[in-house]
Structure formats: C-alpha cells, structure tokens
Structure 1
Amino acid sequence: MGTREALASDDAPLVTAKHGTAAGQSDTVVASAVTINRPAAELYAFWRDFANLATFMENVERVDALDDTRSRWVVKAPAGKTVEWVSRVTEEAADRLIAWEAEADAEVPNSGRVEFRDAGARGTVVTATIAYDPPAGFIGKVVAKMFQREPAIQARRDLRRFKQLMETGEIATSARTLKQLEEQD
C-alpha cells in the first residue's frame, strides 16, 4: 500500500493512500486535520447538524436530513454536473466522533469519519478522514483534479474554511471570488 506522509502543518493532508475493498475495487483515502480555537462540543454540534456543512464545504450544494442517522448529499462535480447519495451515520460519540458510509447505490461510494480531539489551550484538533471511489475510476480522478474537485484538495480547503467560520463567524473571500459570485447572480 503506497502512503504519502505530508508536512506536519494544519492544512496539509495527513495521508493519501490507495487500498483495496472487499469488492476488489480500489478506494482513495484522504485525511486532513486542523486545530480550531473552540471547544470540541461546539465544533461537534455544528458539524452534526449536517445542513451546516454546505456553509463551509465549497462543493456541497446541500445536505438534507432524512432522519436521525441518514442524510441526502448533493455535491458539485466537474463540467457543471452534480452527484447525489444518501449517507448513514455508522458510529457516533458525542463531542468526539462522527463516522458515516454512503448507501450501496451511491453515485460516489464513500465513507469517512471526523474526530474532535482536545488540544488544551489551543482548542480542538479536527481530523477528517474520507475514503471514496472516484467516478469513472482513474480518468474521473484526473478530470476532477483538473477542476479542483479532487477530495484531497477539497478536504484541506474545507477544513480551513470550517476553522475560519468557527473562529471568526465568517469565511474570508478574495476580491476575485466576490466578483465571480456577483457574476453568478
């Protein structure tokens, strides 16, 4: 199994690896971490309300709660497309951990976990680990990377935006981003 260890900075992926699944397919695993100057309980509560995830996850259009453990995800994909799936919470420990898995018919099979670990006076270390099977295999992954939709890049950016939102109440945007948003309206 090939593993790439990254620099120990908060916004670098911790690990990117390939591993085989029971079905013989190959998933990509991405893990990123960030330290946020807020208590774990506050971060956990915000994250656990899955509708909040669209406020800082750039490619998530929306997450609709279906019940206490299932939610429907609508996510942007390359070429103006979207993909959808239903995820189910598979493990949960209040203020510490949320793990999930997409249901069997998902357009993008995925699973993952987010952990909230006390960092003392620094706040909380939030670690997100995602395993996914990119659409169209290797070709889909290359196309996604070209359009900046590759999950290793997005996980790092999304965690940085989560940090900004939780520490300052807003997400900083560049003048270029604001202009692009205005042009879309």
Structure 2
Amino acid sequence: MMLEQSEDDAPKRARRDDREGEMAVVGRSVTINRPRVTLFAFWRDFQNLPRFMEAIEKIEPTGPQRSRWTIRAPAGQMVTFEAEVTDVKDNERIAWRALPGSQIMTEGTVSFSDAPAGRGTIVTANIKYQPPGGDLGRLVAKLFMAEPNIQARHELKRFKMLMEAGEIATADNRKSKEDR
C-alpha cells in the first residue's frame, strides 16, 4: 500500500518553502533564564531594541502604536520604515507590521512563553519580509550575513546575554596583537 505524503507540519520558517506569497518567513527561538514579565516589558519598549539588535540604528515613536525604524543595510545603506503595533497580549505576544509606503515591507510577532521546569522564558521571533531584490537580493544578504534569519539568530543570542548577564559579550574589547 502506498502512503500519501502528508502536509509538512513544521513551522513555515523551518520549511524548504519558507514563503507566503511575496514574503519570506524567518524565525528563531531562545530560552532565557529570566521571568516572562521582565522580558516582555523590556522588548515592549521598542527603544530598547537597538541595545541588542546591531542592524537597528534607532527607533523613534511617532504615535501611540507607531514608530519609525532606521536600519543599517548592506553596503553602508540606511533604510527606514514606519511600523505599527497590530496586536499586544501582555506578557505573551507583540505583533507589528510596516505601513504601506515603507522602504521595507515586513511584519512579525515576538512571543513569550514559560519554559518547562521553571527554566525561564522561551522567546520566539517570527518575521515575514519582502526581500529587496527578490531571491537574488536574499542570497546576497546571506553572503553578507545580513539576511533576517541570520540576524534573528544573532539578535536573540545577544538579547539572552543582555537579559541574563547584563551585558553582551563581544570580541571588540580584546587587545590587538600589537598591545600585548
């Protein structure tokens, strides 16, 4: 008897076909040994995000649920977009989307859930974006380590370091060979 191949039940971000229409879907999760309420409150203040998201230059509030994001792009470019918060469930979820006319079309959700056995909080970021330049632009961004899936992994690691240790470990403070 031949079995029918079933629909893939993996999250869209983990599938080979990681697209929804024109949007690419990326995402990551990390467990952070801090209470959910603490992590949610820190993330909910978008002006905190540049502290651990290296590509974000600044985020300026423009209204109660809106903000202007300035992001460093490959080749020294700066990109801005207007975002609006579309959903907030206290201590559980924050969702946003770029407003029409923005230089980048993106939307996303960050969720916070209790980790098993009292081991902190699972933070999951799921982002949809329209790759500038389509699939070719996405490939170029991957080569420059600037593709959102790569950035999400690094940013969640930095968020974990900041929340657990109070600082982000980098190689920037190491002495050069000449100084030794």
TM-score range, shorter chain: 0.7 to 0.9
Contact 1:77 1:144 in 2 (8 A): no
Q: How far, CA to CA, are the matches of 2:169 and 2:9 in structure 1? A: 30
Q: Which residue matches 1:15?
A: 14
TM superposition shift of 1:3: 7.3
What is the TM-score when the length of structure 1 is the normalising length? 0.83
Q: 1:18 to 1:45 in 2, by over 3 A?
A: same
Q: Which residue matches 1:56?
A: 52
Q: How far, CA to CA, are the matches of 1:85 and 1:167 in structure 2? A: 30
Equivalent residue letter for 2:100: A
Q: 1:3 to 1:84 in 2, by over 3 A?
A: farther
Q: Aligned ranges for residues 1-185 of structure 1 at < 5 Å?
A: 15=14, 17-20=18-21, 26-119=22-115, 120-174=117-171, 177-178=172-173
Give structure 1 stretches of 5+ with no counterpart.
7-12, 21-25, 180-185
Q: How far, CA to CA, are the matches of 2:136 and 2:78 in structure 1? A: 17
Q: How far, CA to CA, are the matches of 2:138 and 2:13 in structure 1? A: 19
TM superposition shift of 1:138: 1.7
Q: How far, CA to CA, are the matches of 1:58 and 1:129 in structure 2? A: 18
Give structure 2 stretches of 5+ with no counterpart.
1-6, 175-180
TM superposition shift of 1:15: 2.1
Q: 1:4 to 1:56 in 2, by over 3 A?
A: farther
Identity percentage of aligned residues: 46
Q: 1:109 to 1:140 in 2, by over 3 A?
A: same
Q: How far, CA to CA, are the matches of 2:141 and 2:163 in structure 1? A: 28
Indicate the SS of the match to 1:32.
strand
Contact 2:13 2:25 in 1 (8 A): no
Q: How far, CA to CA, are the matches of 1:135 and 1:53 in structure 2? A: 23
TM superposition shift of 1:68: 2.0
What is the TM-score when the length of structure 2 is the normalising length? 0.86
Q: Which residue matches 1:23?
A: none
Q: How far, CA to CA, are the matches of 1:3 and 1:147 in structure 2? A: 30
Q: Which residue matches 1:183?
A: none
Q: 1:3 to 1:161 in 2, by over 3 A?
A: farther
Q: 1:141 to 1:89 in 2, by over 3 A?
A: same
Q: How far, CA to CA, are the matches of 2:86 and 2:160 in structure 1? A: 25
TM superposition shift of 1:4: 10
Q: How far, CA to CA, are the matches of 1:60 and 1:43 in structure 2? A: 19
Aligned residues: 165
Which is greater in Rg?
2
Contact 2:72 2:79 in 1 (8 A): yes
